[in-house]
């Protein structure tokens, strides 16, 4: 097992860095931590054990103490965090909270390497689970050995070998009692379904793992083909409709799977066929992908349309200074005297302007009844009409940040200033917006 992990380190060029180890106190993570401890000097690795207490099992308090003692044994740091009291007690919620913990700790410790202890048995269980729910060739690849900052060096090692390794090391570990609860689907597969496989073929674990490896190889070939085709049928991250329709059905399906990878909960044949049929039979319409996103067809393009939830809050501005709204910082400075040649009326997409203003003002998203006098034009129009005339997409409309005087727009940040608030004398305000 040590040699397998060492080869993994070499293959992925992991050395001279901090490695976070997802630590549950179970046999897999204990074995992984011990193996890494035996290799840390040779590859100059600094280990940090990361334990996340999901706050739904009484024995978690003992696991926290076990983590501290184990870290001391291998002379490693440890980080422990507990889930909020009101967190949902579901598998999906627990997983999301745990991975969020890893991402936050990776930023805090300035590392891009998190080791997780999934093994060959976990890989097979995941495949069976996906087959039952419905999946694609990509789903047959099961758990990736590397994804983003996460590495899984034990995927080629089965549970039996892990337990034998711990026995030889005389290393104790904890057993998660929730793993015995067959109400959880993965536990049901492990406890009830996989033992039946053993009755049919004692080598089922390796045989299914071979299928996973074959699927990975096939997926690489498909990905290469899709990458080549995308160069011809994509424009600005949108699919050109007529070029898409000219492809064979099988290629259309793979393009959709790639394009909608993180947007669909189900990526099985039935789901992809439904979307493909929708595209074939529509020229200007949309179909729901999830609760916030649609697959949209418009102007010979296929693209993702996101329903943006506007922030109902407003930031009141009573004086000069810096103000923060979502991911934008707005700085307002008083200019006592400005030369005429220095006055800058920004074209669209600029993030600096000079305006004649009076306080109070508000920083917010658009509302019904907003009015606007675009710079360079006479008269006032509804903001809604201005946005239609400018052909701004619905998703972008809802993201716009506005500097307002009551219901009148002074500046659409990054887009356009108001004719009514342009500089008319040497005294004015300088406004600068930037992302944070």
Residues 331 and 196 in one domain: no
Tell me the average pLDDT across 254-272: 89
pLDDT of residue 59: 86
Residues 141 and 12 in one domain: yes
Residues 140 and 33 in one domain: yes
Q: What's the domain count of the chain?
A: 3
pTM score: 0.68
Residues 141 and 276 in one domain: no
Helix (H, G, I), strand (E, B) or coil at 326: coil
CB-CB neighbours of 169 under 10 Å = 13
Helix (H, G, I), strand (E, B) or coil at 205: helix
Residues 129 and 90 in one domain: yes
CATH code for position 71: 3.40.50.620
- Buried b or exposed e, range 187-196, using 16+ CB within 10 angstroms: bebbeeebee
pLDDT of residue 18: 96
Residues 301 and 319 in one domain: no
Q: Cα(257)–Cα(239) distance, rounded to whole angstroms?
A: 13
Residue that finishes a domain, picked among 307, 335, 355? 307
Residue 434: pLDDT band with limits 50, 70, 90 = confident
Residue 52: pLDDT band with limits 50, 70, 90 = very high
Residues 33 and 114 in one domain: yes
Residues 286 and 323 in one domain: no
Sheet holding 428-435, edge to edge: 321-325, 328-335, 428-435, 352-355
CATH code for position 356: 3.50.40.10
Residues 50 and 125 in one domain: yes
**105: in domain:** yes
Backbone phi and psi for residue 267, each to the nearest 5 degrees, phi listed first: -120, 35
Is residue 43 scored above 90 in pLDDT? yes
Among 58, 107, 40, CA closest to 79 = 107
The 10s digit of each residue's pLDDT in 336-386 is 877 666 565 555 557 888 888 999 999 999 988 899 999 988 889 999 999
Among 247, 243, 246, CA closest to 233 = 243
Q: Cα(366)–Cα(72) distance, rounded to whole angstroms?
A: 56
Residue that finishes a domain, picked among 158, 180, 204? 204
**339: in domain:** yes
pLDDT of residue 309: 61
**265: in domain:** yes
Is residue 137 scored above 90 in pLDDT? no
| Tokens matching residue 291 | 């609760």
Residues 200 and 295 in one domain: no
**Vertex 362, ends 357 and 368: CA angle to 5°?**
115
How does the average pLDDT of the chain come out, rounded? 90
Residues 242 and 341 in one domain: no
Among 251, 293, 303, CA closest to 272 = 251
Residues 133 and 82 in one domain: yes
CB 398 within 8 A of CB 310: yes
Tell me the average pLDDT across 306-330: 82
Tell me the average pLDDT across 172-180: 86
Tell me the average pLDDT across 228-254: 95
**163: in domain:** yes
Is residue 98 scored above 60 in pLDDT? yes
Tell me which H or E stretch contains 347. none
Q: Cα(12)–Cα(8) distance, rounded to whole angstroms?
A: 6
CB pairs under 8 A, 24+ apart, for 320-324?
320/429, 323/363, 324/436
DSSP state of 302: E
**Domain extent for 24:** 2-204
The alpha-helical segments, DSSP class H, found in 281-393 are 383-389
CB 175 within 8 A of CB 28: no
Residue 95: pLDDT band with limits 50, 70, 90 = confident
pLDDT of residue 314: 87
**Residues facing 362 on adjacent strands:** 316, 404
How many helices (DSSP H) and strands (DSSP E) are in the chain?
15, 22
**401: in domain:** yes
Residue that finishes a domain, picked among 307, 331, 347? 307
CB 412 within 8 A of CB 370: no
| Tokens matching residue 58 | 């009484």
């Amino acid at each position: 097992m040590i040699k397998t992990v060492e080869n993994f380190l070499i293959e992925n060029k992991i050395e001279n860095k901090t490695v976070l180890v997802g630590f549950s106190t179970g046999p897999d993570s204990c074995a992984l931590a011990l193996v890494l401890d035996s290799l840390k000097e040779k590859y100059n690795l600094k280990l940090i054990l990361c334990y996340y207490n999901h706050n739904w099992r009484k024995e978690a308090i003992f696991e926290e103490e076990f983590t501290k003692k184990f870290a001391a044994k291998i002379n490693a740091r440890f980080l422990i965090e507990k889930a909020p009291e009101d967190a949902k007690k579901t598998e999906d919620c627990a997983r999301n909270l745990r991975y969020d913990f890893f991402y936050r700790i990776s930023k805090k410790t300035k590392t891009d390497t998190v080791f997780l202890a999934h093994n060959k048995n976990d890989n097979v269980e995941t495949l069976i689970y996906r087959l039952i729910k419905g999946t694609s060739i990509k789903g047959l690849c099961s758990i990736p050995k590397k994804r983003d900052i996460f590495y899984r060096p034990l995927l080629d090692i089965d549970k039996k070998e892990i337990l034998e390794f711990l026995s030889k090391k005389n290393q104790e570990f904890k057993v998660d009692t929730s793993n015995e609860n067959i109400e959880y689907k993965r536990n049901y597969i492990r406890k009830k379904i996989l033992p039946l496989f053993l009755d049919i073929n004692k080598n089922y674990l390796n045989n299914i793992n071979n299928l996973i490896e074959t699927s990975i190889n096939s997926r690489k070939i498909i990905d290469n083909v899709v990458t080549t085709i995308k160069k011809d049928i994509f424009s600005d991250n949108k699919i050109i409709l007529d070029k898409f329709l000219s492809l064979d059905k099988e290629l259309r399906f793979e393009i959709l799977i790639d394009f909608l990878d993180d947007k669909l909960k189900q990526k099985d044949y039935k789901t992809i066929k439904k979307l493909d049929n929708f595209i074939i039979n529509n020229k200007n319409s949309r179909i729901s992908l999830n609760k916030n996103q649609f697959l949209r067809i418009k102007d010979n393009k296929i693209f993702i349309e996101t329903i943006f939830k506007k922030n109902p809050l407003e930031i009141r501005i009573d004086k000069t200074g810096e103000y923060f709204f979502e991911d934008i910082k707005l700085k307002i400075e008083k200019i006592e005297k400005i030369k005429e040649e220095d006055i800058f009326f920004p074209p669209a997409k600029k993030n600096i302007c000079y305006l004649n203003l009076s306080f109070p003002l508000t920083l917010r998203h658009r509302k019904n009844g907003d009015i606007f006098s675009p710079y360079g034009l006479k008269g006032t129009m509804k903001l809604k009409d201005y946005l239609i005339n400018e052909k701004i997409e619905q998703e972008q409309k809802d993201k716009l940040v506005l500097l307002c005087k009551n219901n009148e727009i002074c500046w659409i940040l990054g887009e356009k200033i108001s004719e009514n608030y342009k500089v008319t004398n040497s005294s004015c305000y300088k406004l600068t917006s930037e992302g944070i």
